[in-house]
Homo-oligomer: A and B are copies of this chain.
Amino acid sequence: MNALQNIRVVLVRPIYGGNAGSVCRAMMNMGLSDLAIAAPRDDFNEYDAGKWAYSARSIWENRREFPGLKEAVADCRLVVGTSVREGLYRAHAKTPREWAPLLLNTAGEGRVAIVFGPEDNGLGNDDLAYCTGLIRIPSTDAYPSLNISHAVMVCAYELYMASGTVTERGEDSPEASSEIRERMFALWREALLKIDFMEDQKADHMMLGLRRILSRGKLTEIDVRIMMGIARQTLWLAERARGDEKET
The verdict on A86 contacting B172 (CB below 8 Å), with A92-B220, A146-B29, A147-B26 known, is yes
Chain B residue at minimal CB-CB distance from A25:
B147
Contact residues in B for A146 (Cβ distance below 8 Å): 25-26, 29, 153
What are the interface flags for A1-36 relative to B under an 8 Å C-beta threshold, 1 for contact and 0 otherwise?
Answer: 000000000000000000000100110111100000
Contact residues in B for A243 (Cβ distance below 8 Å): none
Query: B220 near A56 (CB under 8 angstroms)?
Result: no
Closest beta carbon of chain B to A17's beta carbon, Å: 13
Checking B55, B95, B150, B166 against A143 with a beta-carbon cut-off of 8 angstroms, the contacting residue is B55
A173 at interface, CB cutoff 8 A: yes
Interface size on A, residues (CB 8 A): 45
Contact residues in B for A92 (Cβ distance below 8 Å): 170, 217-218, 220
Query: A143 near B86 (CB under 8 angstroms)?
Result: no
A residues touching B (Cβ–Cβ < 8 Å)?
A: 22, 25-26, 28-31, 55-56, 86, 88, 91-95, 97, 136-140, 142-147, 149-150, 153-154, 157, 160-161, 165-166, 169-170, 172-173, 217-218, 220, 222
8 smallest beta-carbon distances between A and B, as pairs: A28-B143, A138-B166, A29-B139, A150-B153, A91-B172, A31-B140, A91-B173, A29-B146
List 26 A–B pairs whose Cβ atoms lie within 8 Å, in order of A's numbering: A25-B146, A28-B140, A29-B139, A29-B145, A30-B139, A30-B140, A31-B140, A31-B142, A56-B143, A88-B222, A91-B169, A91-B172, A91-B173, A91-B222, A92-B217, A92-B218, A92-B220, A93-B170, A95-B166, A138-B166, A139-B160, A140-B160, A153-B153, A154-B154, A154-B157, A157-B157
